[in-house]
Amino acid sequence: MANRGLQSLFNRIRRNHALEHATINLLSHRYPSAKILGLSGPQGFTLYTSLDPKTVNRMVPQALSSLQHGLTDLVYHENCGTNLVMTALLTTTATLAGFQAHRRLTMRRFVELLPQAILLNVIALLIAGPFSRWVQTHVTTMDNLADTEIVSIKMDRQGTLQRVRVRTRTQRA
């Protein structure tokens, strides 16, 4: 039973993450010089932006509608933190594999293993993009938002940026 609760929580975060990305993608396309940062959670997502909050307010329902009408490419965003985390995971693993987890790594052995570690890191960097995209589109976001609705959009100022908090919920059948 607890497993279903965790899965439900994770799916809410994934849907909100997808809606956050769709909103940012639509805004970035229309306003390419805008500064936009987003954070998602189980209740919705928050954007910090240089844009007028009313502009964002109009775009959130458009993003939801776009996802609900099959524009699933909007769930991916190239500057998502998932990409950074996956790249760090792959390169760290490559480095550890390159040095084969030697307990007593002498300077001589380090120099001998360095080319191998560098090559493994290059390979990790080459696969990081496609791997991160796959993780983002299949693990950290969910493109099925058919039963998602926007509950509220609240705006205020946070330092020099506007903060837009979007609350969502899953409709009950």
Residue 100, phi-psi category: left (phi > 0), alpha (psi -120 to 50), beta (remainder)? left
Task: Tell me if 52 sits within 8 A of 162, measured CB to CB.
Answer: yes
pLDDT of residue 158: 83
- Is residue 106's pLDDT more than 80? yes
Binning pLDDT at 50, 70 and 90, where does residue 98 land?
Answer: confident
Tokens of 1: 């039973």
Tell me the average pLDDT of the chain: 93
Q: Is the predicted pLDDT of residue 173 greater than 80, yes or no?
A: no
Tell me the C-alpha distance between 89 and 98, whole Å.
14
Res 79 pLDDT > 70: yes
Report pLDDT for 101: 66
Domain ranges in the chain? 2-75+143-170, 81-138
State the pLDDT at residue 53.
Answer: 85
Q: Regarding predicted confidence, which is higher, 104 or 87?
A: 87
Question: Is the pLDDT assigned to residue 172 strictly greater than 80?
Answer: no
pLDDT band at 87 (very low <50, low <70, confident <90, very high): very high
54 vs 67: which has the higher pLDDT: 67
| 36-41 and 148-158 beta bridge pairing | unpaired
The CATH superfamily holding the domain 2-75+143-170 is Threonyl-trna Synthetase; Chain A, domain 2 (3.30.980.10)
Global pTM value:
0.89
Determine the distance from the C-alpha atom of residue 91 to the mean position of all C-alpha atoms in its chain, rounded to a whole number.
19
